[in-house]
A and B are shown apart, each in its own frame.
Chain A
Amino acid sequence: MDNIEWKCNKCDKPLKPRSTVFEYMGRSFSHEVLVCPGCGKVFIPQSLAEGRMAEVEEALEDK
């Protein structure tokens, strides 16, 4: 999945890295992820969801 060059189906544009605001447990922070430059559709790869993202989720739940 990480090696696939994803593009937005609606805008037909390749994704570009962009700083995106994430929210969880009443806290928010920015992280750079691949996003459609046209409509802003975000791509979260499985490795990120089950890796770093899960760690941050756990840390925020514990606060």
Chain B
Amino acid sequence: MAYKPQFYPGKTSVAQNRKKFMDPSYKMEKLRSLSDDDVVLMLGHRAPGSAYKTIHPPLTEANEPDDPIRKIVEPIPGAKTGDRIRYNQYADSMYFAPMVPYLRSWMAATRYRGVDPGTLSGRQIIETRERDLERITKEIMETEQFDPARESIRGCTVHGHSLRLNENGMMFDMLQRSVLDKSGKVFQVKDQVGDPLDRKVDLGKPMSEAELKKRTTIYRVDGVAFRSDEEVVGWVQRIFTLRTKFGFSPKV
């Protein structure tokens, strides 16, 4: 029987959401439309419409030495053209955000090629070539894995993940990169490092509390508790035990 990856154990809604986000064959539901320029503006790495800066000549002109690995691995578009390596970083609120930092990294490993993810307690960063980064950022911010109130793109001053929400339901942001207006829509007014944008970017309406609880990937005692998912607990314990025993193995 052919091996079919399961990506994540468990039967609760949180486990199922984690599983589908990590599964590259699952097509994310698109919730909002952003233009390419919107994404470039929010990232703040280059001016919209400007050429990509390069750090090496295109691989076709590089005359690289003969190497079997180079023949097996297809370079990503940004590597082919020699783009700079840039980053995006997200902070996810622990109040039922659709994404959690660890899942972002697991997802980067299963869905995207040529990326370098880094996980911290409340934020996650992805580094890759500039044009690939823009494509990934667009996919993340347009689809169900992003909620404009509980998640935001934050290159610096990321504090907010573990704080209580503001009264209007937005995650605390010292730099106020995204702001809720009176009509209930969220607008991005600054780029990811807090520099003002020339024009605000419409991120749409935040999800309702019920919708967030349905889509969330965070285990919480007041939502889906981690201990309520026996299969997940069993697997986490198994991996932890094996890893610990392996650490004591003198032969390895």
Q: Do A and B come from the same complex?
A: no
Give residues in A with beta carbon < 8 Å to B.
none
